[in-house]
Amino acid sequence: MESYTTPTRPRVYKQMSQEGYDHATVEERWQEAWDDAAVYHVPDEASDPTYVLGMYPYPSGKLHMGHVRNYTITDAYARYRRMRGDDVLHPMGWDAFGLPAENAAKERDTNPRDWTFDCIDTMRGQMKSMGFGYDWDREVTTCTPEYYRWNQWLFRRFHEAGLVERRDAEVNWCPSCETVLADEQVEGDAELCWRCDTPVETRELDQWFLKITEYADDLLEAIDELEGWPNSVRQMQRNWIGRQYGTTLDFHVDGHGPVEAFTTRVDTIHGATFFAVAPDHPISEELAEEDDDVRRFIEEEADPDGDEPNGVATGLSATNPATGEEIPVFVADFVLSDVGTGALMAVPGHDERDHAFAEKMGVEIRPVVAPEPDGWDGETVPEAPDVSEAAFTDDGVLINSGEYSGLDSETARERLTEAIDSAAESTQYQLRDWGISRQRYWGTPIPMVHCDDCGAVPVPDEDLPVELPEFINTTGNPLDAADEWQETTCPECGGAATRETDTMDTFVDSSWYFLRYVSPDLEDAPFDLDRANDWMPVDQYVGGIEHAVMHLLYSRFFTKVLADEEGLEHREPFTNLLAQGMVQLEGEKMSKSKGNVVSPQRIVDEYGADTARLFMMQAAQPERDFDWSEEGVKSTHRFLTRLNDLVEAYAAGDVATAGDGDAEAADRDEIDDYVADETDAAVAIAGAEYDDLTFNVALREAQDLVGTLRSYREHADPHPDVFERGVDVAVRLLAPVAPHLAEELWETLGRDGFVAEAEWPTASVDRDTVERRRRLVANTREDVRDIVEVAGIDDPERIDVVVAPDWKYDALEIAIDSDADNLISELMGESHIREQGDAAASYGQDLQANREALRETLDGDAEYDALRAAAWLIEREFDAPVRVERAADADESVVSKAEPGRPAIDIVE
RNA sequence: GCGGGGGUGGCUGAGCCUGGCCAAAAGCGGCGGACUUAAGAUCCGCUCCUGUAGAGGUUCGAGGGUUCGAAUCCCUUCCCCCGCACCA
At A543-564, the pLDDT tens digits run 988 888 889 999 999 999 999 9
Point out which residues pair with A330 in neighbouring strands. Answer: A276, A313
A278 touches strand B (CB under 7 A): yes
Q: For the segment A133-160, what is each residue's pLDDT rounded down to a tens digit?
A: 999 999 999 999 999 999 999 999 999 9
- At A546, the amino acid letter reads E
**Does A462 or A172 have the greater pLDDT score?**
A462
CA-wise closest residue to A450 among A405, A502, A396, A415: A502
Q: What is the pLDDT of residue A10?
A: 32
Q: What is the DSSP letter of A281?
A: S
Q: What is the pLDDT of residue A616?
A: 87
User: Residue A1's pLDDT band (boundaries 50, 70, 90)?
Assistant: very low
CA-wise closest residue to A436 among A330, A510, A367: A510
A792 touches strand B (CB under 7 A): yes
Question: Beta strand pairing status for A50-54 and A538-544?
Answer: parallel
A779 touches strand B (CB under 7 A): yes
Ranking A330-334, A751-755, A820-824 by mean pLDDT, the lowest is A820-824
Mean pLDDT of A515-534: 97
Q: What is the pLDDT of residue A741?
A: 95
What's the CA–C1' distance between A877 and B44, in Å?
7
Summary mean pLDDT of chain A: 89
Are A745 and A754 in contact, with CB atoms under 8 Å apart?
no
Point out which residues pair with A79 in neighbouring strands. Answer: none
pLDDT higher than threshold 80 for residue A184: no
Rg, Å, chain A Cα set:
37
Which stretches of A279-433 are DSSP H helices? Answer: 282-290, 292-296, 352-361, 409-419
Give the angle A215-A218-A219 at the CA atoms, nearest 5°: 80
Q: For residue A521, give every residue at least 6 positions away whose Cβ sits within 8 Å of its Cβ, in sequence order, or none.
A: A146
Greatest mean pLDDT range, A68-77, A171-180, A849-858:
A68-77
Q: How far apart are CA A187 and CA A193, in angstroms?
A: 6
pLDDT higher than threshold 70 for residue A19: no
Q: Look at residue A580 and give its three-state secondary structure.
A: strand
pLDDT higher than threshold 50 for residue A230: yes
**Does A227 or A527 have the greater pLDDT score?**
A527
pLDDT higher than threshold 60 for residue A371: yes
User: Residue A388's pLDDT band (boundaries 50, 70, 90)?
Assistant: confident
- At A38, the amino acid letter reads A
- Which nucleotide, over all strands, has the C1' atom closest to the CA of A873? B44
What's the CA–C1' distance between A160 and B84, in Å?
34
A825 touches strand B (CB under 7 A): no
Which stretches of A84-111 are DSSP H helices? Answer: 99-108
pLDDT higher than threshold 60 for residue A518: yes
- Number of neighbouring beta carbons within 10 Å of residue A797: 10
CA-wise closest residue to A198 among A221, A176, A224, A172: A176
A186 touches strand B (CB under 7 A): no
Ranking A244-253, A338-347, A385-394, A500-509 by mean pLDDT, the lowest is A385-394
pLDDT higher than threshold 90 for residue A112: yes
User: Residue A17's pLDDT band (boundaries 50, 70, 90)?
Assistant: very low
Are A495 and A449 in contact, with CB atoms under 8 Å apart?
no
Give the angle A88-A91-A97 at the CA atoms, nearest 5°: 160
Q: What is the pLDDT of residue A347?
A: 94
Q: What is the ipTM of this complex?
A: 0.90
What's the CA–C1' distance between A384 and B76, in Å?
27
CA-wise closest residue to A106 among A380, A399, A474, A392: A474
Q: How far apart are CA A595 and CA A575, in angstroms?
A: 37
Q: What is the DSSP letter of A301?
A: I
Q: For the segment A578-622, what is each residue's pLDDT rounded down to a tens digit?
A: 988 888 776 677 777 777 788 889 889 989 999 999 988 888 888
Q: For the segment A298-311, what is each residue's pLDDT rounded down to a tens digit?
A: 988 888 777 788 99
Q: For the segment A826-872, what is each residue's pLDDT rounded down to a tens digit?
A: 888 888 998 888 888 888 888 887 877 788 888 889 999 999 998 88
Which stretches of A175-304 are DSSP H helices? Answer: 216-221, 231-241, 282-290, 292-296
Instruction: Please tell me the pTM assigned to this model.
Output: 0.92
- Number of neighbouring beta carbons within 10 Å of residue A372: 15
User: Residue A95's pLDDT band (boundaries 50, 70, 90)?
Assistant: very high
In a 10 Å sphere around its CB, with 0-12 CB exposed, 13-18 middle and 19+ buried, how is residue A192 labelled?
Answer: middle
Residue with CA nearest C1' of nucleotide B14: A697
A782 touches strand B (CB under 7 A): yes
Q: What is the pLDDT of residue A195?
A: 66
pLDDT higher than threshold 60 for residue A174: yes
For strand B, the positions having any atom within 7 A of a protein Cβ are 2-5, 12-14, 20-22, 26, 28-29, 40-46, 51-55, 68-69, 82-84, 86-88
Q: How far apart are CA A581 and CA A104, in angstroms?
A: 29
Q: For residue A715, give every residue at least 6 positions away whose Cβ sits within 8 Å of its Cβ, in sequence order, or none.
A: A671, A872, A876
Q: How far apart are CA A717 and CA A495, in angstroms?
A: 91
A830 touches strand B (CB under 7 A): no
Q: What is the pLDDT of residue A892?
A: 87
Q: What is the DSSP letter of A624?
A: S
Q: How far apart are CA A482 and CA A500, in angstroms?
A: 11
pLDDT higher than threshold 60 for residue A786: yes
Q: What is the pLDDT of residue A796?
A: 86
Strands (E), A161-218: 164-174, 179-181, 186-187, 192-193, 201-210
Residue with CA nearest C1' of nucleotide B3: A235
Q: What is the pLDDT of residue A592?
A: 72
Mean pLDDT of A441-449: 96
Give the angle A584-A586-A588 at the CA atoms, nearest 5°: 50
Q: How far apart are CA A268 and CA A395, in angstroms?
A: 9
A 207-246: CB within 7 Å of strand B: 231-232, 235-236, 239-240, 242, 244, 246
Cα A848 to its chain centre, rounded Å, is 49
- Number of neighbouring beta carbons within 10 Å of residue A652: 10
CA-wise closest residue to A358 among A387, A385, A336: A387
A430 touches strand B (CB under 7 A): yes
